[in-house]
Amino acid sequence: MPSPFPGMDPYLENPATWPDLHQRLIAYSAEALQPQLRPKYIARIGERVELSSLTRTYIPDVLLIRSAPAPYSEAVAEGPLVADEPTTIGLLEEERRVPFLEIIHHPSGEVVTLIEVLSPANKSGEDRQKYLRKQDDIRNSQANLVEIDLLGEGPATTLARLGHINEPADWRYIVSVLRNRNDAKIEAYPVPLQQRLPRCRIPLLPEDDDAILDLPAVFTRCYDIGGYDLLVDYSQPPPVELSPTDEAWRVTLLSAQNPQKQNP
């Protein structure tokens, strides 16, 4: 069953659903690109390790760093009160593995293009600063950078933030493309909630034609294989804030598709 929305589904911006969708977007984008790239290029899923934020709700693992030097002695009857020596325990931050997609030039092994699907962590706090530093590193390299931001909340984080996007005025999502051998320009695909996702140009080496990432097809595959129609209750408001115009449109859209469930 397809998503009731023509493009990105705002219900899937839910932090509980997003990690699954994030991984599917990476995997199915690689699947969609691979036939266009062979034999000169390979789409490969990479993985980096990051520490999860302190907003998690579970108890972290622990690491024994230093044990107490000896069993506790008998109580001292006289003299100053002395504290027993504690065991020192260090808390281990939970690691999360964040996938990304890289296009490799097969003969040389050179990374030609990086494709990032932004996560909530990329758009807040210290993790956002780390991501912006990574952007700078890529701009100073010869690699192309494609950033897919399907999260409507949070500050603008893709390289497109450096420009002024006036049309369409109601855009919520954005794909940013940096051709790093010509980084004076950034190509952007701003997307309103009410429109389909774009089919994006994916740059390769300058002498080769762009590949095309069919994001509508990738998202549809994610939605179908992920079974999100069984996970999302469309009779409830979405887990993210929408503009008044988009909210009114959402209610009308969902009510028309399922008149038995009127959305508040």
Strands 62-66 and 88-91: antiparallel
pLDDT of amino acid 95: 54
Q: Is the peptide bond before 6 cis (omega within 30 degrees of 0)?
A: no
Provide, rounded to the nearest whole percent, the portion of the chain with pLDDT above 70.
80
Angle at 157 between CA 153 and CA 160, to 5 degrees: 115
Q: Where are the domains of the chain?
A: 10-52+93-257
Q: Please give the Cα distance from 135 to 138 (Å, whole number).
A: 5
| DSSP designation for 264 | -
**pLDDT for position 62:** 43
Note the pTM of the prediction, 2 decimals. 0.80
In the predicted model, what is the mean pLDDT of residues 125-144? Answer: 90
Q: Between β-strands 62-66 and 111-117, what pairing exists: parallel, antiparallel or unpaired?
A: unpaired
Highest mean pLDDT, choosing among 64-68, 215-219, 254-258, 259-263: 215-219
Q: Name the E strands within 131-239.
A: 144-149, 171-178, 186-192, 199-202, 211-214
